[in-house]
Amino acid sequence: MNCTINSSWSESHQVMLLVFTVPTISIGFVLNGVALCIIWCKIKGWTKPTIYMTNLIISDILLLFALPFKIYAYYVGPQWPLHKRFCQLLESLCFVNTYASILLITLICADRYVAIKHPFLSRAISSPRKTAVICAGIWIFVCTGSIYIYFSSESSSCFYYLSPGVWRMNFIAPLEILFLICAFFMMFCSVQIIRRLRVQASETRDRWADKSTKIILSNLLTFLVCFTPYHTGLLLYSLTTNGFISESYCEPLRNALHVSLYLANVNCCLDAIYYFYSIKEFCQSNSRHIPNSSTQIAICEGIADSSTDPPLSSRSH
């Protein structure tokens, strides 16, 4: 079953589009650009944290590049005046950002968990080179999904009316399962790390552990707040388009899905704020002596300890 939906958009949707998207574009470009400059200019060599953060920044910038065209697509209406392939590329970039961010954030959290719970194992099995290979694998995985969207999207209206082929359950269901797995790992790893750091902070009065706990908790809440509503809306709308829910819900669920996607896009700005906390802790941890190695591993960048890992390469400044 295909949803029959009104081609017009309400004034309230226009307000939501501008309220969420315009600040996301302007703030996101500035914060991500500054973070990328700091990583390249202030931190020597490729370490695990810089590899993670660089990949996240690239993912966010890809989305930020596509968002102005999303606003443009709203105002030009159903008939997209630019080349159809360019529209499909923009839609694919949005998909790449969402799932590259989800997988990278989950990987960072899992790496952090291993680092603080099993620090010697973490140092033995991880390295900047292995991290780069894993990140490359993530990009290959999400780009494969974006290729499907690129060739399946046949709508004349960019962004807002994807082809029915995109909403097939054999494509949407794996995405939902992937998100649930990542959300479970995020919650499990974050809770375990926070419990460990709180015990350590109470025993040693270590303010570094307390600060790291706040960073980890905020990262978890950001992940859940940004991505859970989107995947809930994605599932409900796909169930409607496939006939599992009454067609009368198509229009409200489609509107809800777009609003939840705007919220998910805000993650671009929140990621950048997280980068600055990470870089700050990295610089402070390098200039101070922290006696407890497991605390240092958890805190240095809020990701994992990179001080014991040799960088992939060194840059002169």
CATH number, domain containing residue 72: 1.20.1070.10
d(CA 186, CA 108) in angstroms, rounded, equals: 9
**What's residue 284's pLDDT?**
59
> Per-residue confidence of the chain (317 residues) as pLDDT tens digits?
556 555 555 667 778 888 889 999 999 999 888 888 888 887 767 788 788 889 999 999 988 998 998 888 887 777 778 888 888 888 888 888 889 999 999 998 888 888 888 887 777 777 888 999 999 999 999 988 888 777 776 666 777 666 666 788 888 899 999 999 999 999 999 999 888 888 777 766 666 666 778 778 888 988 999 999 999 999 999 898 888 888 888 888 888 888 898 899 998 888 876 676 666 666 655 554 444 434 333 434 343 343 334 445 444 34
What residue spans of the chain are helical by DSSP H? 11-42, 48-76, 84-117, 119-125, 128-152, 169-204, 207-241, 250-265, 267-287, 293-299
Give domain status of residue 92, yes or no. yes
Give domain status of residue 277, yes or no. yes
- Domain span at residue 207 reads 12-299
Give domain status of residue 63, yes or no. yes
Give domain status of residue 310, yes or no. no
Q: Are 265 and 67 in contact (CB under 8 A)?
A: yes
Give domain status of residue 188, yes or no. yes
Q: Are 64 and 26 in contact (CB under 8 A)?
A: no
User: DSSP letter string over 78-94?
Assistant: SS--S-HHHHHHHHHHH
Which of 70, 69, 84, 93 is CA-nearest to residue 142? 93
**What's residue 269's pLDDT?**
86
Give domain status of residue 7, yes or no. no
Which of 100, 116, 54 is CA-nearest to residue 302? 116
Give domain status of residue 3, yes or no. no
Give domain status of residue 146, yes or no. yes
d(CA 131, CA 127) in angstroms, rounded, equals: 6
d(CA 38, CA 53) in angstroms, rounded, equals: 11
**What's residue 189's pLDDT?**
93
**What's residue 303's pLDDT?**
38
SS3 letters for 131-171?
HHHHHHHHHHHHHHHHHHHHHHCCCCCCCCCCCHHHHCHHH
Domain count, the chain: 1
Q: Are 223 and 306 in contact (CB under 8 A)?
A: no
